Amino acid sequence: MQVAVFSSKPYDQQFVETANGPYGFALTFFEPRLTIETVGLAQGFETVCVFVNDRLDAAVLERLHAGGTRIIALRCAGFNNVDLPTVERLGMKVVRVPAYSPHAVAEHTVGLILTLNRKIHRAYSRVREGNFSLQGLLGFDLYGRTVGVVGTGQIGAVVAQIMLGFGCRVLAFDPFPNADLLSRKVAYVALDRLLAESDIVTLNCPLTAQTRHLVNADSIERMKQGVMIVNTSRGAVVDTPAVIDGLKSGRIGYLGLDVYEEEANYFFEDKSDDVLADDVLARLLTFPNVIVTGHQAFFTHEALTSIAETTLQNVADVAATGSCKNEVRSSPAKK
């Protein structure tokens, strides 16, 4: 089986090649993202293996199909970048890695919370300049604070448990409450109430039509003064210009983003020699109370090992049986 691996960095190649031992697929690694401009590279590959910022819209899928591709193997959980109705119409298969290390993403989420609160990013630079002043570094105890978790699937559930460990009151919003969390004193409430009562709002839901711009001018207005918002889900869950307004007015006191709506042009690349052309991202980076990380929440040894192994097993399953437990369909059955 010929597999074209797009968006592949040296670390992807390392982990995927290691996992390929038992499978023996013929792997070809392409560094560019899969887009309409690069889709020609996939000509003749039965499987393409892609990541979060590869664009599998109708035009790309048509070209892939015409070139002989039948299997799309996502090296990620989210599948918002794939036009599923077109996949189904063309009779292709899409497989994903539904859970690789929820701990990786949850722990990074908590890392952002701690860093924003205790201003560790500012302390790091300050101390290296010989400035040991504490002025401006005042934080708050997490103990006793209210944390609102939007989306309590694999990742959100771990975030909720960690925050319970800090002694926080945890509110949750999810159309499908998690029984285990309910038994651990997590209170499922309406989204409006979660937004109104939370000191920290963490976004751990997928990007769907319902969650696109869930954080917008209107919902920000309903949040607590000085709220902390952390988004490690998908960029478009947040309306970025609206959060910039919220930061300028002080309604939002802290913002942690691992994902950004327009990240595809920047994230995973070294752009340090370029002029930053995205004015929204540039503005975000000026705030002392904003931390942006470049979609690295998943980036742990355990997660990359699990992603590589599951991805190749998914391909093997589809090749052998025509189906796979990790197949993505237009209307996925709820777990």
Residues at the site binding ligand NAI, with contacts judged by CB under 6 A: 77-78, 99, 102, 105, 150-156, 173-176, 204-208, 210-211, 232-234, 258-259, 295, 297-298
The whole-angstrom separation of Cα 81 and Cα 30 is: 18
Closest listed residue to residue 45, CA positions, set 4, 16, 17: 4
3 state SS of 171: strand
3 state SS of 243: helix
The whole-angstrom separation of Cα 240 and Cα 256 is: 12
Closer CB to ligand NAI, residue 75 or residue 251? Answer: 75
The whole-angstrom separation of Cα 35 and Cα 326 is: 24
Closer CB to ligand NAI, residue 109 or residue 313? Answer: 109
Closer CB to ligand NAI, residue 23 or residue 299? Answer: 299
User: 194 near 201, Cβ under 8 Å?
Assistant: yes
Catalytic residue among 55, 234, 261, 309: 234
The whole-angstrom separation of Cα 132 and Cα 120 is: 13
263 has catalytic annotation: yes
Shortest Å distance, C-beta 15 to ligand NAI: 15
Closer CB to ligand NAI, residue 53 or residue 152? Answer: 152
Closer CB to ligand NAI, residue 47 or residue 178? Answer: 178
Closer CB to ligand NAI, residue 212 or residue 283? Answer: 212
Give the CA distances from residue 121 to residues 95, 126, 230, 289, in Å, rounded to whole numbers and listed in that order: 38, 9, 16, 10
Which residue's Cβ has the minimum distance to ligand NAI?
A: 153
Shortest Å distance, C-beta 205 to ligand NAI: 4
Shortest Å distance, C-beta 26 to ligand NAI: 28
Catalytic residue among 46, 55, 75, 263: 263
Shortest Å distance, C-beta 113 to ligand NAI: 14
Shortest Å distance, C-beta 216 to ligand NAI: 14
Shortest Å distance, C-beta 66 to ligand NAI: 29
Residues paired with 228 in a beta bridge: 200, 254
Residue tagged 């590869």 (tokens):
54
Q: What is the 3-state secondary structure (H, E, C) of 1-12?
A: CEEEECCCCHHH
295 has catalytic annotation: yes
234 has catalytic annotation: yes
Exposed / middle / buried, residue 20 (Cβ in 10 Å: 0-12, 13-18, 19+): middle
The whole-angstrom separation of Cα 241 and Cα 80 is: 21
Point out the residues that are catalytic: 234, 263, 295
